[in-house]
Structure 1
Amino acid sequence: MTARLFPEWHPQDAIQLTWPTPTSDWAPLIDHIEATLEALVCAITRYEPVLISVHDAAQRARLTTRFDALHVPVEQRHFVVADSDDTWARDHGPIGVERDGRLELLDYVFTGWGGKFAAERDNRLTETLAGLGVYGAPLATREMVLEGGAIESDGEGTLLTTSACLLNPNRNPELGREAVEARLAADFGVSRVLWLENGHLEGDDTDSHIDTLARFCDPATIAYVRCDDPSDPHFDALAAMEEELKALRREDGSAYRLLALPWPKACFDPDDGHRLPATYANFLIINGAVLVPTYADAADFIALEVLAGAFPDRDIVPIDCRAVIRQHGSLHCLTMQLPRGMLNPALSS
């Protein structure tokens, strides 16, 4: 049995989103996060559809009216009513693979990043959506705790991740490194797992998800965050991560092309002053474009330029994510791509 974990640049049917409710942790910021999500939907639907989980029929009706006013094409937006805890579709959404020539969606256990937050409804969400018939591929459940933001695929059998997350005892305490690699090989068909031992962002609840630190842009290219301020508390760990990346080799023995993303000025929560995890690595690759988180910082322009060089054949679209980091995530964390063939075609008929 052979499997393949699609890279993010594989053609997509849609981007899956989970809309927040006023009773969630977003309550104090609901207007701000909804404005950001509206901008995100408007950007995505220029290139492909969105699949949006909403809390109830009233929320669906309100968003329908709103997207009508924003001229989002009806055929590019699909709503499904399914209850949730939070908005982080990257981590509670399904992961698309190809197994023996057939498409399959994998549904892993989601525990709110090791039990930090309530996640029972989020953990059931993918199964609920599958039961409602929105997917175009069968769903297979897994007992392993795994979040989509914790893994990066090059589409050619190599997976990039962090020890701090996948080997954290708050995820799968019974599994050591070899056992985790065996599970990843069986589920995703990967022949190599590249582990980063360094790198962390203050304010990050995920225990160093790879999508906050380093990302495949193509099988030979990795974009990563680099801190250029020796006085910043992130400097040493990110410098150590950079050395790890320089030492990594592709399967043919060649070095990776490394693209350093800039370091935005420190962002702090206006209420209690704790640092927020602003990172340009949390970009989203979609059909024909790359959506890039921005923070009203001069470094935004450098990040956009770096990623334009990494993706010369795609549009580079900035999305203001200052509201998103208030809840310790960013753009990529809000989204999950559904590879080609994974959305029920009846939704578009």
Structure 2
Amino acid sequence: MSFRLLPEWATQDGIMLTWPHENTDWVDILPDVEPVYVTLCQQISQVQKVLIIAHSDALKVHISTLLSKADVDMSAIVFVVAPCNDTWARDHGPLTTANQNGDLRVVDFVFNGWGNKYAAELDNNINKQLVAQVINDQAAFQSIDFVLEGGGIEINEYGVLLSTSECLLNPNRNPTLGQSQIEATLAQELGADSFLWLEHGYLAGDDTDSHIDTLVRFAPNNTLVYVACDNADDEHFSALTAMKMQLESFMTADGKPYDLVPLPWPKPVFNNDNERLPATYANYLILNNTVLVPIYGDDHDSLAVQQIQKAYPNHTAIGIDCLALIHQFGSLHCITMQLPRGFLK
């Protein structure tokens, strides 16, 4: 029976985090960012497991101390000690497919640091460490010689795969393959039945070549949640307006338009070097019965939580302060990867 990538709202065993450490680009702001990770562990551990990738045994001890002091239920924490370059679990983590019998097939794609922009050899080996240490023996595992990041794709319950041309068709990923060959690979390995290619939209400060999870997300029942820029003076206004128009043109398999849920546009955030940071409410994380929404101390935070709640009526939307995360040019979804039911031993 064929295997298909599971949508993020499928029932999960846990969430994977790769913890920041002093050998990562987080080193200067570790005191600011580690509390975000602790808060995530507090929230996630209430509903499912947290799989933490620790760069070393010493870091594992440090993390355990932090979590214990924060009264995190340590029985919900699973550690894998594995060296890592950075912390973007969404992009170096495993993608999990399932067939109609519920059998799992875990797929390990190549992570090349978003087109060889950054070192990634350690991160690219993490999934093999997961197999060696914590994966369910009943789950199949396969490594694929194809560059793909989890943040670059979205899929819904009908097998429709959504991505941006800027990312998946970029020659810094799979330069010898054209669109039809890339679609064929994703159909074979992830069970995608059809494709939606987004041609517009970007975020200043984003290193990923316009990952879809910063712009547009699938929700159940043919719903698309997207960032909407209503400020005509903002540099993003033209591109995101064109993106909205393309979303309005997309049709479901039965020829109907998607239900579109707009997210508000946060005010610009800059770092000390006056670089604009990619604050986006679209970078939320779906858990079992809960959605964690990145917030930034912005006047639009509460509206963003309300809109995401509307898109996932069977979940409870909760805001998480992610202002520290965007100083490394990513947010909540970027640092996490869901592990569907049956993934862990």
TM bin, normalised by shorter chain, reads: over 0.9
Report matched runs for 1:208-227 at 5 Å.
208-227=210-229
The aligned amino acid for 2:280 is: T
Alpha-carbon offset, residue 134 of structure 1? 3.7
The aligned amino acid for 2:291 is: V
Alpha-carbon offset, residue 113 of structure 1? 0.2
2:42 is equivalent to residue 42 of structure 1: yes
Does structure 2 conserve the Cα–Cα contact (< 8 Å) formed by 1:229 and 1:235?
yes
Q: Which residue of 2 aligns with 1:305?
A: 306
Distance 1:71 1:103 in 2: 33
Using structure 2 for the length normalisation, give the TM-score: 0.97
The aligned amino acid for 1:88 is: W
User: Residues 15-60 of structure 1: CA distance to partner in whole angstroms, max 9, x if unpaired?
Assistant: 0010011121101011111111111111111111100010111111
User: Residues 170-221 of structure 1: CA distance to partner in whole angstroms, max 9, x if unpaired?
Assistant: 0001111100100011011111010000000000000000000000111311
Distance 1:206 1:310 in 2: 25
Q: Which residue of 1 aligns with 2:241?
A: 239
Report matched runs for 1:42-81 at 5 Å.
42-81=42-81
Does structure 2 conserve the Cα–Cα contact (< 8 Å) formed by 1:5 and 1:155?
no
Does structure 1 conserve the Cα–Cα contact (< 8 Å) formed by 2:154 and 2:163?
yes
Alpha-carbon offset, residue 250 of structure 1? 0.5
Alpha-carbon offset, residue 311 of structure 1? 1.6
User: Residues 271-319 of structure 1: CA distance to partner in whole angstroms, max 9, x if unpaired?
Assistant: x101000000000010010000000000111101111111222111111
Q: Which residue of 1 aligns with 2:122?
A: 121
Distance 1:112 1:331 in 2: 18
Distance 2:12 2:22 in 1: 30
Q: Could you tell which deviates more after superposition, 70-79 or 3-12?
A: 70-79
Moved over 6 A (4+): none
The aligned amino acid for 2:315 is: R
Q: Could you tell which deviates more after superposition, 124-133 or 17-26?
A: 124-133
Identity of aligned residues (%): 48
2:36 is equivalent to residue 9 of structure 1: no
Does structure 1 conserve the Cα–Cα contact (< 8 Å) formed by 2:213 and 2:283?
yes
Distance 2:210 2:28 in 1: 26
Does structure 1 conserve the Cα–Cα contact (< 8 Å) formed by 2:80 and 2:129?
no
Does structure 2 conserve the Cα–Cα contact (< 8 Å) formed by 1:269 and 1:326?
yes
Distance 1:239 1:19 in 2: 36
SS in 2 for 1:308: helix
Distance 1:190 1:24 in 2: 35
Does structure 1 conserve the Cα–Cα contact (< 8 Å) formed by 2:109 and 2:148?
yes
Q: Which residue of 2 aligns with 1:325?
A: 326
Distance 2:76 2:269 in 1: 34
Q: Which residue of 2 aligns with 1:168?
A: 170
The aligned amino acid for 1:312 is: P
Report matched runs for 1:1-349 at 5 Å.
1-99=1-99, 101=101, 102-136=103-137, 137-270=139-272, 272-344=273-345
Distance 1:94 1:135 in 2: 13
Alpha-carbon offset, residue 155 of structure 1? 2.1
Distance 1:138 1:33 in 2: 35
Using structure 1 for the length normalisation, give the TM-score: 0.96
SS in 1 for 2:71: coil
Alpha-carbon offset, residue 80 of structure 1? 1.4
Distance 1:175 1:306 in 2: 38
The aligned amino acid for 1:26 is: W
SS in 1 for 2:122: helix
Alpha-carbon offset, residue 129 of structure 1? 1.9
Q: Could you tell which deviates more after superposition, 300-309 or 96-105?
A: 96-105
The aligned amino acid for 1:157 is: G
Distance 1:74 1:276 in 2: 34
Alpha-carbon offset, residue 135 of structure 1? 4.4
SS in 2 for 1:276: coil
Q: RMSD in angstroms over aligned alpha carbons?
A: 1.1
Alpha-carbon offset, residue 133 of structure 1? 3.7
The aligned amino acid for 2:297 is: A
Q: Which residue of 2 aligns with 1:347?
A: none
Does structure 2 conserve the Cα–Cα contact (< 8 Å) formed by 1:107 and 1:140?
yes
Distance 2:312 2:221 in 1: 12
Alignment length (residue pairs): 343
Alpha-carbon offset, residue 99 of structure 1? 4.3
Go from structure 1 to structure 2 and tell me whether the alpha carbon gap of 1:308 and 1:100 turns closer, same or farther (over 3 Å shift). Answer: closer
Consecutive unaligned residues in structure 2, runs of 5 or more: none
Alpha-carbon offset, residue 138 of structure 1? 2.5
